[in-house]
């Protein structure tokens, strides 16, 4: 963090404040971990924070300390808007533009305080008074650790915060294997374990809490996996019918896209998931090496994210979306095979 920004933050936090903490829509382990980790820290400092998630999130994240206090905008607009109207500060965590919070963006109209952004996505917008953006960071949770450290308070990190921040670092690094995992990431992780993070329990809570239906859905996804070796590309499709047949619940498809990348030689993997309620196909894109799925998704699929992990969507039906995707690949052949 820049020295001047630290000064501004210290000033903003030097008296008890009513503070909003907002993760992105469809929050993942990093977004919820960062939000609840920061929530516990701010409370310990005498502030009055409230986490407002734009919409629901998967069950496997709900064990985190502070979870019961999270407000969900989608299902409780009135209660959320009351809190928003009274808030003095707003932390936005794990996203780079306010359109990433869906309808909550318009819910924030009555907020007139300062925004503080902590995020590691490419191309951050400039709405915040303090923008702590670092695209080289493994996760927003790692950044929240550095943020607390910059305020001189790393010794005050509680067991609750440690458990939350560990979770987001673990999920966003694919359990410490993606290239953004640095020696500093591991030092932060070591420090979080020293502060009480139950590392083995966290892995268990996140990764070993499958339902039989979810594993069968994975089986279905894997049987739909198609490799296009000519382009070092693989993709998976899931229709709404297939999701229904496996009693799909939020979070069930998390991580499926990575199986494409586990095929030998594959550098670009995509999953297309039909969402009939929203009338879209939700797309997750992953890559290895220099091929930027952020650029690809921004250009063709109304999305973005990081160089090696991005999201997007399509308004075309599933089959047409896949056909369109395939039609794009020849122009990327060199980048994907060099």
Question: Which residues lie near ligand 5GP (CB under 6 A)?
Answer: 24, 96, 100, 121, 284, 303-306, 309-312
Please, are residues 26 and 133 in contact by the beta-carbon 8 Å criterion? no
* Contact with Mn ion (CB under 5 A) among 40, 81, 142, 172: 172
Question: Which of Mn ion, ligand 5GP, none does 321 bind, CB closer than 5 to 8 A by kind?
Answer: none
Site residues for Mn ion, window 105-144 (CB under 5 A)?
Answer: 140
Q: Which residue has the tokens 């959320």?
A: 80
| 89 bridge partner residues | 19, 114
* Contact with Mn ion (CB under 5 A) among 40, 81, 94, 252: 94
Residues with Cβ < 8 Å from 124, sequence gap 6 or more?
A: 96, 97, 117, 131, 133
Query: CA distances (Å), 153 to each of 42, 91, 120, in order?
Result: 11, 18, 22
**254 lies in the site for Mn ion, by CB under 5 A:** no
Least Å distance, CB 323 to ligand 5GP, is 21
Which candidate, 83, 121, 108, 63, places its Cα nearest to that of 297?
121
Task: Output 40 or 94, the one with its CB closest to Mn ion.
Answer: 94
For residue 305, the tally of other CB atoms under 10 A from its CB is 23
Task: Output 161 or 284, the one with its CB closest to ligand 5GP.
Answer: 284
Least Å distance, CB 148 to Mn ion, is 17
Least Å distance, CB 125 to ligand 5GP, is 10
Least Å distance, CB 170 to Mn ion, is 12
**30 lies in the site for Mn ion, by CB under 5 A:** yes
Least Å distance, CB 298 to ligand 5GP, is 8
Please, are residues 19 and 49 in contact by the beta-carbon 8 Å criterion? yes
Task: Output 140 or 237, the one with its CB closest to Mn ion.
Answer: 140
Site residues for Mn ion, window 313-332 (CB under 5 A)?
Answer: none
Task: Output 63 or 178, the one with its CB closest to ligand 5GP.
Answer: 178
Please, are residues 260 and 235 in contact by the beta-carbon 8 Å criterion? yes
Cα–Cα dist 222/207, whole Å: 18
Site stretch for Mn ion (CB under 5 A), options 37-45, 147-155, 170-178, 327-335: 170-178
Least Å distance, CB 27 to ligand 5GP, is 9
CA triplet 15, 19, 20: central angle to 5 degrees? Answer: 170
Task: Output 96 or 133, the one with its CB closest to ligand 5GP.
Answer: 96
Cα–Cα dist 23/33, whole Å: 9
* Signed CA dihedral, 133, 90, 49, 306: sign only: negative
| 282 bridge partner residues | 273, 313
Residues that bind Mn ion (CB under 5 A): 30, 94, 140, 172
């Amino acid at each position: 963090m820049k020295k001047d920004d630290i000064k501004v933050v210290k000033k903003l936090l030097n008296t008890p404040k009513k503070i909003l903490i907002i993760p992105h829509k469809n929050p993942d382990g990093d977004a919820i971990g960062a939000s609840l980790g920061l929530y516990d820290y701010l409370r310990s400092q005498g502030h009055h924070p409230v986490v407002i998630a734009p919409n629901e999130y998967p069950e496997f994240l709900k064990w985190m300390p502070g979870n019961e206090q999270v407000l969900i905008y989608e299902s409780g607009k009135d209660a959320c808007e009351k809190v928003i109207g009274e808030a003095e500060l707003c932390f936005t965590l794990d996203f780079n533009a306010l359109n990433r919070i869906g309808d909550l963006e318009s819910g924030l109209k009555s907020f007139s305080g300062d925004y503080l952004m902590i995020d590691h996505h490419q191309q951050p917008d400039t709405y915040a008074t303090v923008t702590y953006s670092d695209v080289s960071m493994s996760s927003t949770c790692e950044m929240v650790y550095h943020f607390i450290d910059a305020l001189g308070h790393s010794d005050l990190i509680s067991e609750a915060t440690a458990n939350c921040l560990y979770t987001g670092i673990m999920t966003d690094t694919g359990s410490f294997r993606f290239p953004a995992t640095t020696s500093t990431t591991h030092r932060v992780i070591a420090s979080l374990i020293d502060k009480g993070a139950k590392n083995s329990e966290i892995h268990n809570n996140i990764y070993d809490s499958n339902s039989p239906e979810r594993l069968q859905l994975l089986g279905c996804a894997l049987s739909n996996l198609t490799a296009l070796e000519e382009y070092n590309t693989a993709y998976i499709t899931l229709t709404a019918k297939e999701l229904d047949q496996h009693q799909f619940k939020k979070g069930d498809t998390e991580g499926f896209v990575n199986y494409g990348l586990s095929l030998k030689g594959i550098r670009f993997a995509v999953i297309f998931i039909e969402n009939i309620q929203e009338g879209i196909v939700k797309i997750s894109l992953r890559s290895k090496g220099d091929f930027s799925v952020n650029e690809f998704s921004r250009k063709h699929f109304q999305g973005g994210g990081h160089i090696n992990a991005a999201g997007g969507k399509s308004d075309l039906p599933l089959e047409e979306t896949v056909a369109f995707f395939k039609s794009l690949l020849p122009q990327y052949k060199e980048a994907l095979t060099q």
